[in-house]
Amino acid sequence: MGLMSSLLLHQASSWPLRAADRLEVSIEGVVLPVEVDDLRAWVSSKGRVRTELGPWMQLLDEESRLGLMKLLQAPVLTRRSFGEQVLRSWSAGRLLDAIGDVVRLMDGDRISSDVVLTTLEQLLKKRSQVSTLHLLEALPGQELRLDLDALVLAASRWRLQLKRHQALMTGLSQPEAMARFMPPSPSASSVQGMAVQLPVAHRSTSLELRIWTPSNPRADCIWVALMPGLGGSPDHLKWLARHLAAAGWPVVLLEHPGSDAAAVQALLEGRESFDGARALQDRQQDLEAVLSAQAQQRIPIQGERVVLAGHSMGALTALVSSGHSPQSGMDQRCQKALGDLPLTNLSRLLQCELVERGVLRSRSVPVSPAAVVGLNSLGSEIWPVGSTDPSPTPLLLIGGTLDLITPPLDEQIGLLASLAQHPYSRVVVIEGASHFSPIRVGDTQVGTREDDLFQLGEDLVGVNPRRAQRIIANEIVVFLSGLSANSSAPVDEHWSDGGVRWHRLTIEGARTLHRRY
């Protein structure tokens, strides 16, 4: 979702009169002039066709050589309307700038991001998908320079980041002790959600809420404000709201017009665009309005202590709204993060957009939260490890080892190590779960993988979402149950239900892992 934010409105320049037919390839300090046709032939033949470029490509190790072929052939954009919208986003602008570091004019000048943008937009009008090689063939200028040294360096940085996350996965999968435990399946509760319209001053229409009221409420007076992620729908988290209500806690599930599923559909159809900065501001105002309405008994939900919970950007909204002040130096951190092109942590693109737009300011909500629960949370550029503003609020952060949007080492483990002060805080990492594991599509309590997550497939979804969701629900129930029971501080624990393993880590356990990897 970080790639869908904040469209930049400007007029496209004209289509170039002449595209490049020759390249200068810079590799290992040597500059070699080649025909663009030669590059295409070398790539399509997997290096078997003899070209002037071939011997120089042999200077690369086999892994880098094969990776370069894949990179040049891989589709940069595939869906026409989606691609056109993403191209004019803030995040895409940073990616287009990175292209200028690799492809330059013969005199060494950078190709402006506007030229790259215009070239890609014109290519999208002619074909359903555009590869890196298509872009090289179409960029203006009779001769260009392709800096393979810069490309290989970027690839090496990505590989190091991936190895870092893989090392974490390996370390977690070999704990000293693994307890076997089967968490209860989310209950097929008879509790039914009800829709409530809440008039709010910052929107022209009422805010729609979904409310679940338990038949046997707990005595702790806790209620939960639950927020979906950027581009998410309340329907995706109904399963969790229902389960928490069945366990005894009232739940308000928020909808955020403008950054919800309907907005994603409008984006994909080319009708509207995302503005990530505006989305965060709207979401904070939505949450503040709901908390005020509950305190004034204008919505039918009882409770004196609220737990702020959310998925992805919903988790960021909860953290910012709980009073955390962003740490100084965000501009410098983002400059470094964007310089490394954070493809192994896409949330950094969104975080740095919010930094540049100046919307990351602490806002005090009407009531102090009893706790914060974040699913696939983000904030490593906002609150790096070593932050000087730890939170007295108990935190539960949950992530998955297959998440490259908000990877657990930096965005959940690192965030707990940075922000947590309350001894009851913890982070839970589920092996094989992804950024999309908390999302459920459809109302059935038992189903197959095909009716979850828009049928995205296991590569994106990770392990069967129902198993991951069972663990997520259980961990939240365990956490909330202990808030009012004066429970002792948790210890590092490692669990398995026979098919999926997960790890519950303390603040010190999170800090140890972050230092190690």
| Spatial CB neighbours of 261, under 8 Å, sequence gap ≥ 6 | 231, 232, 233, 235, 236
pLDDT at 427: 97
Higher-confidence position of 261 and 377: 377
What's the pLDDT at 445?
Answer: 43
End-to-end CA distance of the chain: give it in Å, rounded.
27
Question: What is the arithmetic mean of pLDDT over 249-275?
Answer: 75
CA distance 387 to 507: 14
In one letter, which amino acid is 70?
K
432 pLDDT higher than 80: yes
User: What confidence tier does 422 reach under pLDDT thresholds 50, 70, 90?
Assistant: very high
pLDDT digits (tens, 9 = 90+) for 182-232: 666 656 566 778 999 999 999 999 999 999 999 889 999 999 999 999 888
- Check pLDDT > 50 for residue 320: yes
Q: What pLDDT score does 399 carry? A: 96
**What's the rounded Cα separation, in Å, for the pair 163 and 71?**
19
Residue where the block lists tokens 């105002």: 285
Question: Is residue 23's pLDDT more than 70?
Answer: no
DSSP state of 413: I
Most confident stretch, 14-18, 147-151, 369-373: 369-373
Q: Alpha-carbon distance 134 to 40, whole Å?
A: 9
Other beta carbons within 10 angstroms of residue 350's beta carbon come to 30
- 3-state SS assignment for residue 314: helix
Q: Do residues 399 and 430 touch, judged by C-beta distance below 8 A?
A: yes
If pLDDT is split at 50, 70 and 90, which confidence band does 294 have? very high
- CA 369 to CA 465: how far, in whole Å? 29
pTM beyond 0.85: no
User: Residue 242: enclosing H or E segment and its boundaries?
Assistant: helix 238-246
Each domain of the chain, given as residue ranges in start order, spans 2-162, 181-516
The values of phi and psi at residue 413, to 5°, are -65, -50
pLDDT band at residue 460 using 50, 70 and 90 as cut-offs: low
CA 442 to chain centre: 23
Mean pLDDT over all residues of the chain?
A: 79
pLDDT higher than threshold 80 for residue 511: yes
Q: Is 278 exposed, middle or buried (0-12, 13-18, 19+ CB in 10 A)?
A: middle
Class of domain 181-516: alpha beta
pLDDT higher than threshold 70 for residue 176:
no
| Least confident piece of the model among 65-69, 90-94, 444-448 | 444-448
Give the E-state strand segments of 2-142 in sequence order.
Answer: 22-27, 30-35, 75-77, 103-105, 130-131
Share above pLDDT 90 across residues of the chain, in percent, rounded to a whole number: 33
**Which is more confidently placed, 155 or 308?**
308
What would the pLDDT profile of 106-136 be if each residue is shown by its tens digit?
666 777 777 887 888 888 888 878 887 888 7
Describe the strand order of the beta sheet including 194-198 as a list of residue ranges.
179-180, 493-496, 501-505, 426-430, 395-400, 371-375, 305-311, 222-227, 251-254, 207-212, 194-198
205-219, 299-313, 374-388, 409-423: which range is least confident on average? 374-388
Q: Read off φ and ψ for residue 172, nearest 5 degrees.
A: -70, -30
Q: What is the pLDDT of residue 308?
A: 97
pLDDT score for 300: 94
Q: What single letter denotes the amino acid at residue 289?
A: A
Q: Which two tokens stand for residue 266?
A: 């409008």
Q: Which helix (H) or strand (E) holds 338?
A: helix 330-339
Six token digits for residue 177? 């002790």
What are the beta bridge partners of residue 27?
A: 30
Confidence of residue 160 (pLDDT cuts 50, 70, 90): confident
Chain-centre distance of CA 29, in angstroms? 37
